[in-house]
Amino acid sequence: MKVTVVGAGAVGATTADNIIRRNIAEEVILLDIKKGFAEGKAQDMSQTAALLGFESKITGVTNDYSATAGSSVAVITSGIPRKPGMTREELIGTNANIVKTVVENLVKHSPDIIILIVSNPMDTMTYLALKSSGLPKNRIIGMGGALDSARFKYQIGQKLNAAATDLNAIVIGGHGDTTMIPLIQHATWNSVRVSELLSDDEQADIVQKTMVGGATLTSLIGTSAWYAPGAAAAAMVESIVRNQGKLFTASVYLEGEFGHEDIALGVPVIINNKGWDRIVPMSLSEDEKELLNKSADAVRKMNQVLSD
C-alpha cells in the first residue's frame, strides 16, 4: 500500500517515520512545498533502515503530486503550527487555503483516497475538506481525539501510577483547549471505574491538565508537539491499511448522531479500510450532553468563518 504524508514538518515527518519503522505501508511519499525539505527528511529516514531493520520505502518530493498517484491514504499536516499563547483557532485563514488546495491535488491523482486531516483548527479543516472535495464522508477523518485521548490516559496513569495501556479512556468533542471533553466518568482501569479510585479534585485535575495538554507543551517547547501527534496519526493509518477496525475518537461528519448534524466533531468511530466505518453510540449524562452541545456550538462558529 502507498501512503502520502503532506507536510514534512515536525508532525508530518514523525508520522512518516512511525509508518516506515513499523512497516505499516510498503511505500510512503513525503511531500512539502519547501524546496528539498521533504527529499532531505526522506533520505535521512531511509538511512535508518539498515539500523532499525524495516523494508518500507520513503521518497520525498517538492510539491509534485504526480508522485502521490495511487495512494490509499494521505495524512495532511501542511500548514502553520501554533506558537506559545496562540489558540488552534487562530490558524484558520492560512491553513484553510492550504488544506483546500492540498485536498484537490490529492484527489486528482488518487480518486479513491482516504484522507486524514491533522492541520488545525482540525475539526474545521475536516469539515472544509469534506465540503470542498465532495468525497464520501467515510473517507475524510480528522485526527485530534486520538491524541487528546492518549494525553488523557497519560494524565490518569500519572495519578494512578498505572500503565497507559491498561487504561480505557476517551476524549470527545472538538479538538480545542476549551472544546474537548475528557470523559472521566467513563474512564476505566482494566474494568474498574477511575472515578471510584480518585477524589473529585484529582479527577478535575486530570480533566484540566488534559484540556491544556497541547498548550502546556507549546509553552515548554516553543512550538506545538509532534511525537504523540505523529504516533496518533500513524496508529490511525495502520488501522486503515491493515483493516484493523480499531476504535478511535476522530472528527467525522455527523448527520444526527450524538444529536448533531452538518458538523465534523470528535466521536468514537471504528476505523478500517473503508475509512471510518461506523460511529459507536455512547450514552452520555445530561452534563456531558450539555458540554458536547457547547463544544459543537464553538466548532460551528469556527466553520462559519470559512464562509465569511
- Residues lying near ligand NAI in the complex (CB under 6 A) are found at 6-12, 31-34, 37, 77-82, 88, 91, 95, 98, 102, 118-120, 122, 143-144, 147, 175, 224-226, 229
For 149, counting Cβ atoms within 10 Å of its Cβ (0-12 exposed, 13-18 middle, 19+ buried), the class is: buried
Q: Out of 109, 175, 186, 260, which one is annotated catalytic?
A: 175
Shortest reach from residue 41's CB to ligand NAI, in Å? 9
Distance between CA 144 and CA 291 in Å, rounded? 17
Nearer to ligand NAI, 23 or 101 (CB): 101
**Residue number with CB closer to ligand NAI (94 or 208):** 94
153 vs 194, beta carbon nearer ligand NAI = 153
Buried/exposed 120-134: b ≥16 CB within 10 Å, e otherwise:
bbbbbbbbbbbbbbe
Chain centroid offset of residue 244 CA? 17
CB of 67 to ligand NAI, least distance (A): 13
Q: How many C-beta atoms surround the C-beta of residue 8 within 10 A?
A: 28
Output 73 or 194, the one with its CB closest to ligand NAI: 73
Cα gap 26→1, rounded to integer Å: 6
Please name which of 135, 67, 70, 73 lies closest in space to residue 100, comparing C-alpha atoms: 135
Q: Is 175 a known active-site residue?
A: yes
Closest CA to 58 of 103, 11, 12, 99: 12
Question: In whole angstroms, how close is the CB of 8 to ligand NAI at the nearest point?
Answer: 5
Query: From the CA atom positions of the chain, what is the Rg in Å?
Result: 19
How far is Cα 291 from Cα 219, in angstroms, rounded to an integer? 26
Q: How far is the CB of 81 from ligand NAI (least distance, A)?
A: 4
Q: Which is nearer to ligand NAI, 173 or 229 (CB)?
A: 229
CB 68, min distance to ligand NAI, A:
11
Q: What residues are annotated to the active site? A: 175
